[in-house]
Amino acid sequence: MIPCLLSLAAGVALTAAPRVAAACGGTFCDTGPQSMPVDQSSENILFAFDGQSVEVHIQIAYDPMTSFDKFSWVIPVQTLPEFRVGSEILFDNVLNGTVPTYGYNQSMESCGGDMSGTDSATATSDGSGETGGVDTGGPEIVYEGTVGAFSVTVLNGGNVQEVIDWLDANGYAQDPEAAPILDAYLKEGNLFAAFKLLPSDTPVVHPVVLRYQGVEPCVPIRLTRIAAIDDMDIRVFFLGDHRAVPTNYRHVLVNPLMIDWPNLGANYKEVVTLAVDAFKAEGNAFVTEYAGPSAVIPKVGLFSAGWDPQAFVGLPAIEAVNALIGQGIMECWDNGEIVCELRHPLLQGLLDTYLPVPMGVDRFTFYDCLSCYEGMIDGAAWGDGSGFAADFKERIVDPGQRAQTLLETKPYVTRMYTTISPHEMLADPVFAENPDLPQVPSFRIAQRYTFCEGNVRWTLPDGREVWTDGPAPWPIFPDEMPWEEEVQQVAMAGAPQVLSSRTALIDELLAAWNQAHMPSASTTSGGETSAGGETSAGGESSGGATSSGGAGMDGDASGCGCASGQQGPATALVGLALVGLGRRRRARVA
């Protein structure tokens, strides 16, 4: 039986705040236009392998319009995990270091004047039935504790109605439609970890980490479908020794011709959505956005050897800011207006709790001169500094040090992405490492060459050439042009098994397009395209009809055992509570 984790949001919208990432490589950002911002607001989950266990890092964003007592969620788990506070900066750095980037270099034919030259542009893209169970007298509490800003209670046993009654009695709002799914998890032997935000005037929400025995991660999504919307974004990261792959979901290479290259891949999400819904993928598939050295992830801001929690024990409140400045995690200056920089996302919350700003006083003015407001400092909140020191260690120092250690010891990172709709959330995707697969670059740069006659030849990263008439927008190809290049089934070793290859059709349709748009006087063969085996816009090798390396899975298994169809150790799982993302109609995007 595979250990399962699955989050169920109760009475709160769990949303990830949009992040802006600008990726610069070579001279792209020096000579090209501004990069488009990337919205990486999908549910973000990071797994770390160590051979015997899996760490699951879950990013949580708090809706400030929601009262803390309405923020709760439940995770079914097969075994009692270790709980820790996670690093928000780790997620920021992983997102920004691996974000897929579409762009182009531009050059022109010399036409007798000073019209030749080069330019470039890049953009990051982005994303109630009958229930059973045996009456055992109710669930048993097997763990109670706190993890940073959360209280955690782990329940064992009971039937589904007793579990729901306990959750209701303890302030965990439940959706009645969840009962059959919760019952299924109970019958599979799961415990339930219930999280609730601790009371606070200024809630400090942070990622959480769960550590389990096992080597094969799984993302249960069955319970998510209750509150899910169409084409929900899921993004999963893996830190380990090799590239990670889905073993019971399909893997898809998108058709690079469907990417809007002149607009820097602005339609990226739409292309992925339609590609993973293609024949043989059927809505249960992922694309790989990056796979390669974890060195691309910056360590800046994660941890500093100068951070010393013990220095705050016994320290008077009036010296707190000076100590933080001395440790390099905070700085204040006066350039006509006092400004303070807090160099960790959780520091403000700690200051709000232990060093609250007096009523009517500007917070930066207060921090810059605590001695000026000595009589207004809340001494009871600060105490002897030991409370601040303990939280500083648990929420900032320890998570940062662990994040840095992960990046230093895990040489490989994989980033995968999909969109999925409620009716497709019937099987829980399982992942494993495959040491035999190539890297997938995050930068996908095309070449745009403008001729004197005004025609433009685009050369895509896979070698294909696309001709357009002058400054015309990216081609709207015939409806039979597929969104996917290839649908694969990938095992834990060997090359992917190709379930569907559309390379021949893509090349045929492209040749017809170029024949109609390529200038007849040109000596360049615009109708010739590269065959399968070249690198696609997703950075991966398209294998055409080639198939090797193990039988593929049919992907139809449903149960959170997250059964992968392969023998192996238990699987650590984490689930999604994805709500609040906008509904969007699927449509062909030019």
What is d(CA 538, CA 543) in angstroms, rounded to the nearest whole number?
Answer: 13
**What average pLDDT does the segment 220-228 reach?**
75
Residue bearing tokens 């015309």: 472
Are residues 192 and 163 in contact, defined by beta-carbon separation less than 8 angstroms? Answer: yes
334 Rama class: left (phi>0) / alpha (psi -120 to 50) / beta: beta
Q: For residue 120, what pLDDT is reported?
A: 66
- pTM beyond cutoff 0.75: yes
b/e string for 292-330 if b means 16 or more Cβ within 10 A?
Answer: bebebbebebbbbeebebebbeebebeebbebbbebebb
Q: For residue 13, what pLDDT is reported?
A: 32
pLDDT, the chain, mean: 79
Q: For residue 204, what pLDDT is reported?
A: 76
Q: For residue 352, what pLDDT is reported?
A: 95
Which CA distances in Å does 396 have to 152, 377, 401, 458? Answer: 19, 24, 9, 48
**What average pLDDT does the segment 557-569 reach?**
36
**What average pLDDT does the segment 91-98 reach?**
95
Using the predicted structure, report yes or no on whether residue 424 has a pLDDT greater than 90.
yes
Q: For residue 508, what pLDDT is reported?
A: 97
How confident is residue 246, by pLDDT bands cut at 50, 70 and 90? very high
Using the predicted structure, report yes or no on whether residue 82 has a pLDDT greater than 60.
yes
Q: For residue 68, what pLDDT is reported?
A: 58
**What average pLDDT does the segment 274-281 reach?**
97
Q: For residue 29, what pLDDT is reported?
A: 24
What is d(CA 4, CA 191) in angstroms, rounded to the nearest whole number?
Answer: 9
How many residues can be counted in the chain? 590
Using the predicted structure, report yes or no on whether residue 2 has a pLDDT greater than 50.
no
Q: Which of 13-17, 104-108, 501-505 has the lowest mean pLDDT?
A: 13-17
**What average pLDDT does the segment 450-479 reach?**
92
Which CA distances in Å does 199 have to 69, 207, 474, 534? Answer: 7, 17, 53, 56
pLDDT digits (tens, 9 = 90+) for 294-353: 999 999 999 999 999 999 999 999 999 999 999 999 999 998 999 999 999 999 999 999
Are residues 81 and 211 in contact, defined by beta-carbon separation less than 8 angstroms? Answer: yes
Between 289 and 175, the more confident residue is: 289
Between 124 and 501, the more confident residue is: 501
Most confident range (mean pLDDT) of 52-56, 503-507, 541-545 is 503-507
**What average pLDDT does the segment 405-420 reach?**
96
**What average pLDDT does the segment 427-437 reach?**
93
What is d(CA 380, CA 389) in angstroms, rounded to the nearest whole number?
Answer: 15
Q: For residue 64, what pLDDT is reported?
A: 59
Most confident range (mean pLDDT) of 13-27, 441-455, 519-533 is 441-455
> Which amino acid appears at position 22 of this protein?
A
Which CA distances in Å does 319 have to 346, 381, 397? Answer: 20, 14, 20
Most confident range (mean pLDDT) of 38-52, 124-138, 400-414 is 400-414
Using the predicted structure, report yes or no on whether residue 21 has a pLDDT greater than 60.
no
What is d(CA 356, CA 141) in angstroms, rounded to the nearest whole number?
Answer: 36
Using the predicted structure, report yes or no on whether residue 148 has a pLDDT greater than 70.
yes
Q: Which of 357-371, 400-414, 465-479 has the lowest mean pLDDT?
A: 465-479
Q: For residue 260, what pLDDT is reported?
A: 95
**What average pLDDT does the segment 243-247 reach?**
97
**What average pLDDT does the segment 276-288 reach?**
97
The helix/strand count (H/E) of the chain reads as 12, 24
